Structure 1
Amino acid sequence: MEAGQGEPAAASRASGGFFAELKRRNVLRAGVLYIGAAWALAQGIAQLGPAFGMPDWGTRWFVIACCIGFPFWIAFAWFYEFTPQGLKRESEVAPGDSITHSTGRKLDFWIIGVLAVAVVLLVTNTFVLRRDATSVADRSDAKAVAAELAKVPAKSVAVLPFTNESGDPEQAYFSDGLSEELITALTQLADLKVIGKYSSFKFRDSKDSPAQIGAALGVANLVTGSVRQQGDTLRVTASLIRASDGSALWSQAYDRPLQDVFAIQSEIGRAVADALKIKLLGTSLIDRQKPPSGNVDAYQLLLQGREQSRRQTRTDFEQAIALMERAVELDPEYAYAWGAMAQVKLVLGTSFLGGAERQRILAEARAALERAATLAPESAFVHGLRSSFLDYLDHDPAGALAEARKALAMAPNDGMTMVILADKLKNAGQPQAALPLFRKAIASDPLRGDWYGLMGNALQQLGQFDAADAALRKQLDLEPDNPRNHMQLATALVAHGDITGAGQAARKAVAMAPDDPSNHLQAALVLDYSGQLAEAEQAVHQALALDPELPYAHAALSAFAIERGDAATALREAGQEIDPDLKAAALALAQQLGNDRAVADAALQAYIDQYGKAAPYTVAQLYAVRRQPDEMFQWLERGAAQYDLTMMLTLFGDPLLRPYHDDPRFMAFRRKVGLPLPGGADAATAAPAVQQSS
């Protein structure tokens, strides 16, 4: 037997060292091919996974699996060789039959191809797909972002929502509550611009860089963190980072008993103040949500109730009230919980209830407010809340304005307090004074849609309808899924003379929330103003089918009967109205159609005596029904002097005033207040005095 014939073929080829053998067997090429293929596949999964609902951890586990598989792949490349007869163990292949050299050339081409695909995917991800839906970078590159950041004040901060790491999604209210109260605490720092919750919370789980978020919110610094609550223990981490480069200015972890949550909030606020070299407005950061007893259970019930109320349905409001009532049972001295409960009961009573039930809940709301005021008489929150009660329930705009001024004096940096005062200025007939406050508040919470809507109302009062339109559309852009925003735009379009657009917006709002009775009712008013009386009546009946005690529904039906000249139906429907103020107006209007002039005159005078000062436009409608245009125009002038928003929104389409559209005085009045002219007349020649004064 010749030497070597009985030895394994591999032994005769084992020369030149281990590294040379790796090269000969194409193990190195196989390793490069594996790594390149894994890289390319990981890039593809990361880019295409979200489109198919793949969770974020999918790519991570793929890479881990590839790392585990890599040594097995290397072993496979060492022990096996591809031959024309198929896959064989390398030791079984004779030297003359080995095709490792030609296989290596093929592997080179595969490596080049895989690496080319990986590079293409990397470039695509970097320059095309990297920016997500909330990013500002899809409109500007990094240089533009840096330019935006250069404009913002150094002493400015946004608190992003702290991550809930408890493992229970239902606990998110707690981490959100801590973040929100930290925002409130930071507004007490002098000379610090603090972005409000609505805007900063829009970046929850955002993949944007700190620079992109800072540019979008107009701040130089961001506070981020996480909260983990397990039983009676609490772990909170917080960091203050520079938006421009993401570097940390301060960071701290707190492992404390749950009872220390309020102390942690204050410590974070003080740390931010120290890091930014800002002094406190007072001696301490006040925890307005902290129960005096320190009862954390009461605090958690308050947070749950507040979160529940933000869903804006009757059921949610009722559940929120139940939670807040439990909070004040645990701590009867809990002023903030009493105030929050009063606020929710006010909204529930005025928006969803009628009759005796409405009066009961509003009486409870007043009692809760007075309890809060007794416990915290110098609270900005309490003064702001009292302002709303005086405005919406007591029809006392002067008193509401005085309370709102007190609230802002106590919390001068709080955006919500600015909006409360601006809204009360608007309601008191001072929309021009309200605009700077609205703009300042919006600068503190630039992505909050409802504030744009309120500012739009002030602009409508001033006759600046193009600017109002823009504000309402901005509100709709920020909150496109809120049907009330579509309805508010519909009402504005009526005032602006866009009847077609108004009808479309109203129908869209109803389609978005077909089970909301107030939606049907608002749509009915828009349809009535656009001359579609039959469809309007049908919409009101749909609303009543959903809620037989819906405020304004019977007053609307009474108004429709007046349009048809049906005095009996108008009087009957007016008598069924459950809102006392609306009922008084509806009865007075219905009584103007009857043949008994003494009754009509008495009803007119009684209404003027009680409501004339607050509702001049309704008095003008009464004179319109009586066919007394001179007096009607006198009361319209009073409404203009008070910037009556109801008049500004309804004058264009009000059916009761249509008989006077051709009166030269009506044209002159519309020009004076800056309203578009009926029949598509040239509004460019209107030269509205009110608008010019703005």
Structure 2
Amino acid sequence: MSFLGELHRRNVVRMGIAYTVTAWLLLQVTDVVMQNIEAPPWVMQALLYLLVVGLVPTLLFAWVFELTPEGIKRESEIAEGSSVVHQTRRKLDTLIILVLAGALAYMFWDGKRSESAAPADVIAAQSAEIADESPGMTRLREQVAAADQSKPDDAAVDIADKSIAVLPFVNLSSDPEQEFFSDGISEELLNVLAQIPALRVAARTSSFQFKGDNRDISEIAEVLKVNHVLEGSVRKAGTRLRITAQLIEAQSGYHLWSETYDRELEDVFAIQDEISLAIAEALKAELALNDDGRALLSRETANTPAYEAYLKGRGLINQRGNQAITAGVRELERSVRLDANFAPARAQLAIGVALLQSSAGAYGDLSADEVKQRAGEQIAAAAALDDDFAELWAARSIMAAVQNDAERALEYAERALAIRPNYADALTWRVNALGDLGRYAESFAAREELLDLDPLSVIGRLNAVTTLRFTEPERATIVAQSLAAQSPWASHLALARVYVAQGEVDLALEQFLLAYAADASDLFSNLLLSFLYSELGLIDEGLRVAREAQPWVWLFAGQFDKAEGSLREALALNPGDLELRSGLGSALYYQGRYQEAVAIWQTTLVPSVFGEIVSSWGGNLPTAQFVYSLRQLGEYEAAEPYLSALDAHESAFGELIQNNAGWQWGQGLIAALRNDRKAAIEELQRSVSNGMRDPTQLQEPILSGLFDEPAMQVMRETVATRNAQNREKALTLICKNNPVPDSWRPLDATCAGF
């Protein structure tokens, strides 16, 4: 008998097949177990080595020995004609069939497991509670679609063909803490792709909103206004890493490209760079992109816990509101403690600290000096590590803004955007700086650019409502409602501002109170709530909202001596705050102390494209009061440049809005300052017709020369009646239909007799 025939007769071949199939099944099952317990890679390597080495003795055993009814015997000891190899052959065949059946069962189970762990289904499992699309998101999608229909077809196609969104990669590891590692991979990809000038990349703050969302790719692409989507998964077990990425054409759902990368996890950020650049190169080829820009390599830390704390902190800050920002700052401080050389964490920490300044339009209670010291230290430390990355320029931009240097804020924001064109914070601060400089048309255009590139940015939409409520009230409502899924606090605040602009005071108060219940520590929303209480004459309620609001409540109440004292106390703690100084000037002005007021206001002047004006978060009223005070002191020539700058500011803004009561009141003040009685009366009447509701606006000293006009008396009565009606609605809300009884209850005196 030939050698091959003898191998067959002695079942050596069958034994080899049985051994190989059994070893494969054992390896597959062990791999799953080792991943779940995060065993070190050497365990699997050792098992594989033993199984490979074990094949040889197994085959030798099958050649030399035979299984008989009396036990295992050497082949040479078995008499001719008494061999039972045919019975052993049947047993081996049965074993092979059973093992193959087990292997098929395992493959079926593993396929189901992988399918359930695929991005869409993992997302669905994580977000079952939000599977139904919110009304706000639905209306936002309709708004996005309507806006796209208004664009020229050729422009829309050109942008869409070269646009992409990077969705958060799905964490397939057994440890939920690896979510931030997966997010880091996604973000590094996004940053690298953003460096390709020919490619429009949806901003992180929008694309990452779809983490945990089971919507169809085409639907996500519609909201983000992109034509391609990059998604993938990350599996990390011990020091082994597998990253899978796939490029999808959104409209058809076709997978244009996919790749899997397996690496040993020695330097996670080097791996991020390697894989991100590889994917970027593949996408450039797939989308036929020209790349004349520079690739952005990782500037991250090799300390994974520091990186995860950085991602957590930045995510919290992007939600805005005092509670979220404060928690974010704590995470970023932890990141810096874990790795003092991690420059992005230091820059982001500076941004968080700056947002916590005690100032109108900010969110905290830190003095300007404290912000300057704490944030300045982090910016200097980050710059010493790397002086040219996007977060650093963004940090410099917001610091310039809080120091009332709009020109530098704009310059630094644009430096950040030159590095990362889709950086939401830098886009926001560019919008704000342009507005502060009086470049309103550019500011409005920049706002639309932000909403187009980052339609799901919380701060982008929150700020957009500030102007949209006057220019496009229906759209403002849609944008405000769309915030609810991401930040209920921001949605309540935005809706409140829309209702204030529409004169729906009770609805506005309800939303302000809901915002208060969501974050009672937030200065920005607290100031607006106190202003509304004060406007309604509910002074005691306004004083209760927040300590920082008290000076402004006293101003509204006409208690100017108390306002002065409160403002001086606040300035003693925060001498660098121009808003407080501007307010002190107004308190002195209302007391007829014009010389003192002028001296204060002269320290608050800031530049604009039209000339210097008084810094004021609340509008241009202090500049008008400054002009009036200079004239009262006989300084007509000195007052003229400021009046011209004021007029130019208001005219530029007025070109962008229509039928706004506040703007028309400002036009009335300017006409009065120019001694044009007829124009002043006409503008004030338009303001009253369009909803003026604060009686103190018609008592402004600038209008004193018109007080004897019969038309003024009619307007005062109209506004007083409107104010009384609004007060009645507000009292009905807080005394009888309080929406937040566990967070805010009115004083007994407020509701006495109601």
* TM-score category, normalised to shorter length: 0.5 to 0.7
Quickly say closer, same or farther: Cα 1:205–1:516, change in 2 above 3 A: closer
- Shift of residue 361, structure 1, vs aligned partner: 4.3
Distance 1:659 1:157 in 2: 49
AA aligned to 2:133 is A
On the 8 A contact 2:668/2:682 being kept in 1, the answer is no
SS at match of 1:189: coil
Offset at residue 396 of structure 1 (A):
1.4
Whole-Å separation in 2 of the counterparts to 1:138 and 1:520 = 27
Conserved 8 A contact 2:229-2:250: yes
- 5 Å-filtered alignment, 1:57-96, equals none
Q: From the superposition, tell whether residues 274 and 391 of structure 1 become closer, same or farther in structure 2 (CA, over 3 Å).
A: same
Q: Cα distance 1:619–1:416, how it changes in 2: closer, same or farther (>3 A)?
A: closer
1-structure distance, mates of 2:461, 2:330? 32
The equivalent of 2:430 in structure 1 is: 421
CA deviations 1:61-86 (Å, max 9, x no partner) are xxxxxxxxxxxxxxxxxxxxxxxxxx
Cα separation, partners in 2 of 1:500 and 1:250, compared to 1, 3 Å:
same
Residue of 280, 302, 313 corresponding to 1:269: 280
Partner secondary structure for residue 279 of structure 1 = coil
Q: Return the offset for 1:244.
A: 2.8
Which residue is 2:599 aligned to? 605
Establish whether residue 538 from structure 1 lines up as the match of residue 541 from structure 2.
Answer: yes
Partner of 2:554: 558
Q: Does the CA contact (< 8 Å) of 1:369 and 1:386 recur in 2? A: yes
Among candidates 241, 258, 274, match of residue 251 of structure 1? 258
Question: Relative contact order (alpha carbons < 8 A, sep ≥ 6): 1 or 2 greater?
Answer: 2
C-alpha contact 1:349 1:359 (8 A) present in aligned 2 = no
TM-superposition CA deviations, 1:240-270 (whole Å, max 9, x none):
1222332222212222233234233333333
Note the C-alpha offset of 1:609: 4.5
Question: 1:477 corresponds to which residue?
Answer: 481
Counterpart in the other structure of 2:295? 284
SS of aligned partner of 2:288:
coil
Query: What amino acid maps onto 1:338 in structure 2?
Result: R
Counterpart contact for 1:453–1:471, Cα < 8 Å: no
Partner of 1:306: 314
Residues 82-481 of structure 1 mapped to structure 2, 5 A cutoff: 132-133=132-133, 153-258=160-265, 259-260=267-268, 261-262=271-272, 263-288=274-299, 290-291=300-301, 294-312=302-320, 314=322, 316-350=324-358, 351-354=362-365, 359-393=369-403, 395-412=404-421, 414=423, 416-457=425-466, 465-467=470-472, 469-480=473-484, 481=487
Contact 2:499 2:505 in 1 (8 A): yes
Offset of 1:163 from its aligned partner? Answer: 1.2
Return the offset for 1:490.
3.7
Q: For residue 76 of structure 1, what is the aligned residue in structure 2? A: none
- How far off is 1:425 after superposition? 1.2
Judged with a 3 Å threshold, the aligned counterparts in structure 2 of structure 1 residues 413 and 317 are, in CA distance, closer, same or farther, namely closer
Alignment check: 8 A CA contact 1:132 1:207 kept: no
Assess if the C-alpha contact under 8 Å between 2:468 and 2:476 holds in 1: no
Partner amino acid, structure 1, of 2:286: A
Which residue identity is paired with 2:390?
A
After superposition, the Cα gap between the structure-2 partners of 1:575 and 1:661, relative to the gap in structure 1 and judged at 3 Å, is: same
Partner of 2:527: 521
Show the counterpart of 1:68: none
Cα distance between partner residues in 2 of 1:484 and 1:625: 38
Q: Indicate whether 1:575 and 2:568 are aligned.
A: yes
Matches within 5 A, 1:487-498: 487-491=493-497, 494=500
| Separation of aligned partners in 2, 1:355 and 1:228 | 42
What's the secondary structure of 2:229's corresponding residue?
strand
Find the counterpart in structure 1 of residue 741 from structure 2: none
Secondary structure in structure 2 of the residue aligned to 1:572: helix
Moved more, 378-387 or 625-634: 625-634
Residue identity opposite 1:572 in structure 2: G
Match of 1:94 in 2: none
3-state DSSP of counterpart to 2:258: strand
- AA aligned to 1:440 is E
CA-to-aligned-CA distance 1:90-132 (integer Å, 9 cap, x gap)? xxxxxxxxxxxxxxxxxxxxxxxxxxxxxxxxxxxxxxxxx95
Please say if residues 241 and 262 of structure 2, whose CA atoms lie closer than 8 Å, have aligned partners that are also in contact.
Answer: yes
- Contact persistence 1:191–1:278 (CA under 8 A): yes
Match of residue 108 from structure 1? none
Distance 1:680 1:391, change over 3 A: closer
What whole-Å deviation, never above 9, does each CA across 1:373-395 have from its counterpart, x for those lacking one? 333223233223212211222x1
Rounded Cα–Cα distance in structure 2 between residues aligned with 1:582 and 1:170? 43
Count, aligned residues: 522
- SS of the counterpart of 1:677? helix
- The Cα of 1:557 is off from its aligned counterpart by 3.1
Alignment deviations for residues 497-542 of structure 1 (CA, whole Å, 9 cap, x no partner): 55565445434534554565653331121333xx4122x4413313
1:537 to 1:387, Cα distance in 2 relative to 1, 3 A = same
Q: Which consecutive residues of structure 1, in runs of 5 or more, have no partner in the other structure?
A: 1-54, 60-130, 545-549, 683-694
In the alignment, is residue 678 of structure 1 matched against residue 688 of structure 2?
yes
What amino acid sits opposite 2:275 in the alignment? I
Give the partner amino acid of 1:196: A
Structure 1 residue 239: deviation in Å?
A: 0.9
- SS state of the match for residue 160, structure 2? coil
CA distance in 1, matches of 2:233, 2:603: 59
1:557–1:573 Cα contact (<8 Å) kept: no
Shift in CA distance, 283/622, structure 1 to aligned 2, threshold 3 Å: closer
Q: Is the 8 A contact 1:495 1:675 kept in 2?
A: no
1:416–1:441 CA contact under 8 A, matched in 2: no
The answer to whether the 8 A contact 1:487-1:523 is kept is no
Residue 168 of structure 2 aligns to a residue in which SS?
Answer: coil
| AA at the equivalent of 2:443 | A
Partner Cα separation in structure 2 for residue 493 and residue 667 of structure 1? 31
Distance 1:296 1:169, change over 3 A: closer
TM-score (normalised: structure 2): 0.59
2:480–2:494 contact (8 Å) kept in structure 1? no
For the Cα contact (< 8 Å) 2:410–2:433, is it kept in 1? yes
Structure 2 stretches of 5 or more lacking a match?
A: 1-123, 607-611, 615-619, 693-754
Aligned-residue Cα RMSD (Å) equals 4.5
CA displacement, residues 561-616 of structure 1 (integer Å, 9 cap, x when unaligned) = 4x2xx443233222222443333233333334557x5xx41332342254373425
**What SS class does the counterpart of residue 533 from structure 1 fall into?**
coil
Q: Normalization by structure 1: what TM-score?
A: 0.64
Query: Quick check: 1:588–1:604 contact (8 Å CA) kept in 2?
Result: yes
Q: Secondary structure at the match of 1:250?
A: strand
Amino acid across the alignment from 1:184: N
In structure 1, how many angstroms separate the alpha carbons of the residues matched to 2:525 and 2:140? 36
The secondary structure found in structure 2 opposite 1:153 is: helix
Distance in structure 1 (CA, Å) of the matches to 2:277 and 2:595? 63
CA distance in 1, matches of 2:392, 2:140: 43
Q: Which residue of 2 aligns with 1:110?
A: none
Q: Structure 1: how far apart are the matches of 2:295 and 2:626?
A: 56
- Residue 215 of structure 2 aligns to a residue whose secondary structure is coil
**Bigger mean CA deviation after superposition, 178-187 or 203-212:** 203-212
Secondary structure at 2:341's aligned position in 1? coil
Taking the aligned partners of 1:268 and 1:367, their CA distance within structure 2 comes to 37
Q: Secondary structure at the match of 2:382?
A: helix
Q: Are the structure 2 counterparts of residues 185 and 433 from structure 1 closer, same or farther at C-alpha, using a change threshold of 3 Å?
A: same
Q: Deviations over 1:11-55 (max 9, x none)?
A: xxxxxxxxxxxxxxxxxxxxxxxxxxxxxxxxxxxxxxxxxxxx9
CA gap 1:432/1:381 in 2 versus in 1, 3 angstroms: same
TM-aligned CA deviation for residue 314 of structure 1: 4.6
Q: 1:404 to 1:458 in 2, by over 3 A?
A: farther
How far does residue 56 in structure 1 lie from its aligned partner after superposition? 6.2
